[in-house]
Structure formats: structure tokens, C-alpha cells
Chain A
């Protein structure tokens, strides 16, 4: 063990608070004859180390929700620098965010729950990707590769050692517009993520008689729709190869609302599926308001070539302005839950959890392409277009059902720019250093911590 390393005295990993001191002796062997050691407090959200004059403050933290020391086996973990401790605490805090809500207080900011009786009908997502030719400039591939390298470095490190990694993540594109981007698969990554999320949302469509659940579901679906609009993803999704999947979903929605949206059958088949989609994810009357639904459809059918009425449908200001709150309402696809998130969050894992978990401990998601795409999407929801406005006034793709539209170069460039902004922001949060694999596992374990009565480690009589 390096002499004079920094060791954690007390730590509330989920809370994001820690005391650390530079000392040679292990905490387990500390005696009341030890000299005063330089001690620092590190706390969320800034994680700036602050000197602490009295070591008793650090030890006293163990009276509450602070564990004492950080051990791997019998070894107390030593960090080479205080910056390494900061990085450890910061990443544990982030990864801990991937477990929020499990021990109470989820409130209203959870994804819509899965119907107790299961999805109304089976849905499967089977779509080809666009941008298969990215000329070797694939963020997706580079990021997955970097995660693999990160894991190998963690395995090869000795305990108490760290290695810098911040320059090994894929390079960000230049921040200024008009410059060629580093990667070209941003539209593909964001569209793929969006499609996964739309599918999961539709899978959670409650039964029609569950009015409260349907109301909640419609609000969440429209919030997701707003986010997709702000990122210029709808026109991309209504193009080849995605539009078939959306039409399939539209037909599914049409069936689900067959009583209340019967009026849709007056329109051409493909269009009615799209309209069902619009009224679900964009705007329109509640699904059970038949009269209003007819009027609404007719009005928009007659005005369909006017761009003015789309202002009624689109407003990027409608949704909750807090992006974490928004992401907390978007469910992670069920098949991705079990491998990475705790059982007590079953059915409630949201995109907020995914983002926190990914930036805190990306190594856990080695080889998991969907999570990489979803993390980028979540980052894009936080960063958004640079001025908040999409480039597309969405009209033609929805109404021109006779042929799949080809997204324009400007639109694709806009979506790529969104992906670039998202990646710059996401990269800023990824690990700066690699720790030994056991320390990396400790970071990952933060998401399992719960504020609950556990085994009493040692009780003293008096």
C-alpha cells in the first residue's frame, strides 16, 4: 500500500458525503494514541474537499447513516490523492441515483406501472437500424469499446492504485456549429432509443376501464412525445426503417381504443394508425371522449396542410421543466431491468435511473448497446437543442402516408448535433479514473443501499 495515502473515515455513499484523511494506519487499528491526521470533508453536489479541523467530526458521522471506513477484504482502501477520493464519492453518489425511490417516497415521479394483467397484446421490437454506413465514425462502437477497455484496466490494477481514463472516452465533437462531427451515428442511436421507449410505454397502456391509470399514462406518453419533438426525432421515426414499427404500434393503439376512437376508421388505414399515435403521444382529447375526438380529427384532417395549426399541437414548454422529473416518468424497457437494477425497483426503473447508473458506473453496461443508446438519449433530453427549438415543424410525414419520407440532410444534421451536445455533456460525467475492480464493484453496490434496519454489527452493553 502506498504510504501516506488517503483513506475514507466515514462515508454516506448514497447521500454523497464522506470524510477522508491521509494516514498510514488502518482505521480498524486506530487507537487513541494516533496523531491528528489531515482530514477533509467531501460533499455533494460540488464534492469540493474542505479541511476539517477536528477529526472527531469525521468519526462522529458514524453515529448516523455513515459507514466507517472502506474495506476490500481485510484491507482498508487507500487512494493515492484526495482527488481520487473525490472521484470515488462522486461516482458512488451518481450510481446511487440508480436506486432512488426503492425505499420510499417515489411520489408521482415514477414511470407508469405495468398493467397487473400484463400488456394488452404482445409487442415485439424488430427494426433495422439506419446509418449502417458510418464510415468508421460510430460513437456507439467507440463507447462500447472504451467500456471494455475500462473493465480490463480495472481488472489489471492493483488495489490502492488508480489509472486516468478521462482521455480514453470517445472524443467529443467540437462545440461550435458548422464543423464536421466526430461520429455519424447520433441519429441512429437516438432513434433506436426513442423507439425502445415508445414500445415500453405502449406495453404499459392500462386497460380502458382504469381511468386514473389511463389519465396518468396519457400525460406521461405526451411528455415523452414532447421530448421527441424537441429533439427532432419524430420525422426520423416516421421514416424508413422505423415507420413500419410505429404504424404497427398505431394499429395496436387503435385496437386498444377501438370503442372511443372508432371515428378514426373513416380515414385511410395507414393514416388512422398514425392518428391514433398522434392522439396518444402528441395532442388531442382524452381517449374516451368520443364526440370531441371526432371533431378534433375532422378539424385537423381539413387543416392538415396548414402549418399554423401545428402550433396548437407542439410546444416545447408544455412538459415539466425539470428534466430529471421528466426522465423519472419514462420507463426502461422491461428486458433491460433485471440485469442492472435491484428487484425492489421492478417495474419502476426509469430513464433517470439509467442515466445516473451509466455515468456513475458505465463498466456495468459492458456490451449492452441498448443502454448506451438510452443513456445518450437521456442526456439529450437534459441538454436539448442548443436554443431549445427543433428545426422541424412536423406535418408532412404524418399525413403523407403513401410513401415513407426521406429525412432531409438538414434534419439529420440537426439530430446529429443533438447527439453531439448530449455526448459532450455525458462524457463530462464519465469516470475520470479507473479503480481496482473491487472498488469499482463497491461503487456499483451503492445503488443497493437502503435506509433500513439491518443486522446489528456489534452491540455494546453499558
Chain B
């Protein structure tokens, strides 16, 4: 059985190898790591305390059409306003998959390195985000959780999507084992991806950023750090225990690109060039989503660039 990753040691090892004995690169790497850890913690340069609205957060992306129901459930104080795949058991068109469940999710969920014998159906998956608008593939509205919404000392984070456990190259490390050992091998691999929010987030994001941007004799900008922490579809996963409502949100974000699409639709209407119905529905649903979020006192922001937001 393998041990959990020592992220500080992992980071030091990476810098040492990547710097290739160049002291200049090593010094800049360490300074950049310090800047990354400050940014993730929400501290300004040389500041010792965090700003309340700044820093890395758990985010989830959701289609605008679901936001009103999420807000309504929050207002009603329902136990699970935000829902995971288990909660949404009937949310499907067509027939249910044959058999009890799909093997891939079962395999991954069995391997999740959860604390205190938590059950997979009570896990709400999110991504670590620093200033951006989250994983756009999963929805156009990015819900940003409050810093306090997560117990930092127990919340598990993974340094990548947990489904990487059944994709190359991690799966090759598992498939070589005999079938009766594969479950344990997968748990061992999952343990290597695991960290704890308070203890490991700064170091894990430091490592991810250095891996993405490479070592250089220059200081990283906040925008560069933000982009590297959640780079397109490459994200760090958060395994939040229990659902949440709008009262646990810091804000909601929409991307500048999609806000521009809304504006273009409006412009086409004004110029008597009727937009397509899909664009009109899209814009209307986003308008309603914003209306509902604001009704629940959630601020909606447009993210114009990584690390920079604008109301």
C-alpha cells in the first residue's frame, strides 16, 4: 500500500530537477511559489492576512437553466439545493442504462480517498479556481463557494480529475495488476493525488503552476497564476461533503466571452437581424439565472480576464 503524497517534498523535488542546478532559476521558482501560495491564500504581496474576497475557492459550474431551481431550493432551505449525479437520479432522457449502474463511475467512486468513511453519494465535486469562471464545459454559470463553506482541515482535494484514475497513463499502472488487486491499486493511485485544503492547497497549486508555466528567471503575474491553477479543462478537484445553497456562495461568475455573446444577441435584435432561437433562449435563461441569484443576494460578476473581474 502506498502512502499519501508529501506535496512539499514533491514541489522541492520538481524545482530541483527543473532548475537543473541553475541557482537563478531556483531562486525565481521559490519566489514564484511564494507568490502563488499568497495568491491562493488571498494575501496581497508581503501581506500577512488574507483579504475576505480573494484567494482560491471551490467552484462548480452549472447550466443557467438549473440556477432558478437551485435558488428556489435554497430559499426553501431544502437539504440538497445543489445536486450531484446521485441526487439527480431521474434527470435523464431515454431509458436508464442497462444494469444497476455504469461501471466507470462505480470504479472511480470506490477508489476515492475520502475521510471518515464518507459515502460517494454525499460528495459534491468542484474545482479549485482562482479568479476565473470555472469549467465552462459543465455549465455557463460558475458558483463560487465562500471560503467558510469548506472545512479546510478535512476537505479532500485531488490534484486532477478523479476520472483520470481510469484513463491513460494512470490506468496502465493498475491494469498490469491481477484483477483482485486492481481495486486496491486504484485506491493507492488515488491516494497519491490527494491533499487537504488547508494543508496542501498552496503547495499543490504551486507545483501545478510551475509544471504548466515552467521555470523562468521572471516573476509570474496574477493572471498567469490564475490561468495555470485552472487551465482550460485541466483542473484540481474538490470533494466537498454535503450539498450547499446560495447562502454558502461568495458570488457567481459568468465569462466575458459568454457575456459578449449575450450582448451580440441583443445587438442583432436591435438591428432587426433576428438571432437564432437557441441564442434567444440562452440569453433569457441567463437573465433569469442572474435575477434569481440576485434575489438570493448573490452577486453576479463577469470575469473579463483571469485574475481580473468586473461587475
Interface residues of A (CB under 8 A from B): 11-17, 19, 27-33, 36, 41, 43-47, 52-57, 59-74, 77, 90, 92-94, 96-97, 100-101, 103-107, 109, 321-325, 328, 352, 355-356, 359, 382-384, 386-388, 425, 428-429, 438-439, 442-443, 445-446, 449-462
Contacts and interface: CB of A to CB of B under 8 A. Distances in A.
B91 A62 contact: no
B163 A56 contact: yes
Given A321-B269, A456-B86, A456-B121, A104 B73 contact: yes
A259 to B, nearest CB: 36
B233 A32 contact: no
B255 to A, nearest CB: 12
Contact of A60 (B68, B112, B163): B163
Contact of A36 (B83, B84, B167, B277): B167
B85 A63 contact: yes
Contact of A104 (B71, B99, B162, B234): B71
Interface in B85-99: 85-99
A449 B69 CA distance: 12
Interface stretch (B29-37, B146-154, B207-215, B280-288): B280-288
14 contacts: A16-B278, A30-B103, A32-B166, A45-B261, A68-B105, A70-B93, A103-B69, A382-B277, A446-B93, A454-B88, A454-B90, A454-B91, A457-B101, A460-B119
B120 A14 contact: no
Given A29-B103, A64-B84, A321-B270, 10 more contacts: A15-B64, A30-B104, A54-B233, A56-B161, A57-B137, A68-B104, A104-B292, A106-B68, A322-B287, A453-B89
Contacts of A73: 95
B105 A62 contact: yes
B91 A67 contact: yes
A322 B286 CA distance: 13
Top 9 A-B residue pairs of the complex, sorted by shortest distance between their CB atoms: A105-B68, A15-B63, A454-B90, A104-B72, A56-B163, A67-B92, A458-B101, A451-B69, A45-B282
B168 interface: yes
A36 B168 contact: yes
A67 B97 CA distance: 10
Contacts of B118: 462
B109 A66 contact: no
Nearest to B68: A105
B113 to A, nearest CB: 10
A69 B102 CA distance: 9
Contacts, number: 285
Contacts of A29: 103
Interface of B: 60-73, 80, 83-110, 112, 114, 117-121, 125, 135-139, 160-164, 166-168, 171, 174-175, 233-234, 261, 266, 269-270, 272, 274, 276-285, 287-289, 291-292
A459 B69 contact: no
B120 A323 contact: no
A456 B285 CA distance: 27
Contacts of A74: 95, 98
A63 B60 CA distance: 10
Contacts of A90: 278
B86 A65 contact: no
A445 B284 CA distance: 21
Q: Specify which of B103, B162, B278, B292 lies most central, judged by the most chain A CB atoms within 10 Å of its CB.
A: B278
A113 B279 CA distance: 27
B278 A45 contact: yes
A65 B91 contact: yes
A54 B164 contact: yes
B305 to A, nearest CB: 21
B96 A71 contact: yes
Given A32-B174, A57-B161, A386 B85 contact: no
Nearest to A47: B278
